[in-house]
Structure 1
């Protein structure tokens, strides 16, 4: 009986396997040798699809950004559109937290990243924001989303009241934070997002018609 053939190696299969590996074990686990073993192929065969590890990481990052919903941009009023887009953006990043350091770099040549930047900038300009302001707002939103997805503030505290009780009088409940990290981190993001958009709405009003 003939041996079953391995699935055809292609870019999509490689990217899917690489993302699964990074999700499970972190960026340090990703290597040509390890990925080839996961795929059941020889290491050099990967180079037919991605000449370098950086090229592969770019493709993986772009796949994640492709999960972000852009449909509201240019369709909803700009405050609602920014809010909904930021939530979708953060959801994509928090689903793949180990990849956030790669995503923190600029869009470069990544198609999904460039489509997202174009959609955000275009929606703001079409809504009446000056181009310079639109650029800064896009960057500001990105800082908020990436920062909130990079690490857990609440998860940084240890579950030991003795660490805080003696020397940090205002941190008497800090040992409980890690237990509620999801709620706290999500709440912090939503608080920052609301404050940011409310502040931008006031700025938009001050700039007035003619902007």
Structure 2
């Protein structure tokens, strides 16, 4: 069950097209997975249409659904085409279905690399200066405790994890910043796959991981 969603402000800005392209990307991917947020978007789109075209607004619910479909399918890079194979990520014998919004970047996913312990990472080229990654935690895997020099937006693609702040499940969306300190880990048998976007390097706060901090900028690429 999805418990964590984009804020009302994020959904409203997404509907009227004022959300940044990177933030809109991950919000759109969440909406692919969350009927509750899709329904809210339809209401915002309807309200925007009534304001923009007060004398002509007489659209049906299906038309608003069509508008939502158009907005959530807009591409950051309009040149990338989606094919059916791009809906699936294969990783060590496991398959994960991507939200529709992320399928257009399937050909932009780099090689998987082993980080520490039971952590795996694959970079995703979404354009711009932000850093996007798929991160997979095997059962028993964890990310060392850290806070954030900037912001980190995360969407759970499959599985569940906890971080000392809360517990998250498939479809959950969260934003972390310098006010948060956490250590994500999973005990799920299938592990946990997340999509994450950060705009500055993490700052590790405990144990041996603090030794990485002077070099963290080298991994921020």
TM-score when scaled to structure 2?
0.28
Of structures 1 and 2, the larger Rg is shown by 1
What TM-score, normalized to structure 1? Answer: 0.29
* Structure showing greater relative contact order (alpha-carbon pairs closer than 8 Å, 6 or more residues apart): 2
Greater share of helix: 1
